[in-house]
Amino acid sequence: MQLFRHATAGVARGAVIAIGNFDGVHRGHRAVIAEAKRIAAHEGAPFGILTFEPHPRSVFVPNSPPFRLTPFRAKTRLLAEAGTDVLFTLRFDRRFAAKSAEDFVADLLAARLGTKHIVVGQDFTFGHGRGGNPALLREMGAALGFGVTVLEPVADASGKLASASRIRDHLASGRPRAAAALLGRDWEIEGRVQPGDRRGRDLGFPTANLAIANYLHPAPGVYAVRAGVSENGTLAWHDGVANFGNRPTFAGQDWRFETHLFDYAGDLYGRHLRVAIVEFIRPDAKFAGIDALVAAMREDAKQARAILAPA
């Protein structure tokens, strides 16, 4: 996959392009991406994705709490795995936001990219004041010579529509399985393992600590997880148990995501780790002392092993 930080004229000209923020790359997003890929293959055209960084909410509400389901690295990896030929990641700032919807279509999509076909979701809006919508895309596409496909929202088995906001609500409320149903996979947190207090090692539960400042904060508590570790060029997955919280038993202040991998003896410091959150076990809690904490950790590990055991 080729990655461009701006709409470079002449690159992948005549491509079929899916457009959106794609935070989470959930089932609805993937339907848009799959349709663009299908049309590109039918037309013998390059398959591209156009997205924006940072997320517009970060620009318009800069002091909002962390909300991203997939920060840039994770989103880019997922879009690459979808078979994207060219990814345009445009810088979103107030200057870009001031561009009219008509200029976005005529200047960017038509003149600079020479787009052959656009695929978007039904709720896609763009341009200053969100003045553009699929109807405008279709109207201008007909005049400027590119096609437009608009997809209906995608629902899970219970009929709930896949949306980033609904997924965030599930995760913030301790419902990772409900979030996974809309994502089409377990939600992951990834990052480089950082040094911690080494307290877990002293208690018999060494943990890999990830900073998650750029991620949505899930419900504080203990989770059954699977952690992906790069080993010899491949990703090896290990069952484990994780805690997201501020360590109330030790009067902690900062929030940490700490993962204990079952039956793993390697050194993880400085390595990149992907942690898939499978199920919520219990809320974060303050214990009366070390013995009570260790007993709870043992029970957490027992429950996590049972949850993750093959059916």
Partners of residue 119 on adjacent β-strands: 18, 149
**Marked catalytic residue, from 35, 188, 190, 258:** 258
Measured between alpha carbons, how far is 159 from 298 in angstroms, rounded to an integer?
38
Query: Hunting for tokens 């400085």 — which residue is that?
Result: 270
Other CB atoms within 10 A of residue 97 CB: 16
User: Residue 187 and residue 181: Cα distance in Å, rounded?
Assistant: 10
Q: Is the C-alpha dihedral spanning 170, 172, 174, 179 positive or negative?
A: positive
| Cα–Cα distance, 116 to 35 (Å, whole number) | 14
Asked about 279 being catalytic, the answer comes back as no
Show the tokens assigned to 305: 């092993």
User: Which distant-in-sequence residues (6+ apart) come within 8 Å of 134 by Cβ?
Assistant: 120, 122, 124, 148, 150
DSSP conformational letter for 257:
E
The helix (run of H) or strand (run of E) holding residue 89 is: strand 86-91
Give the catalytic positions in this structure: 258
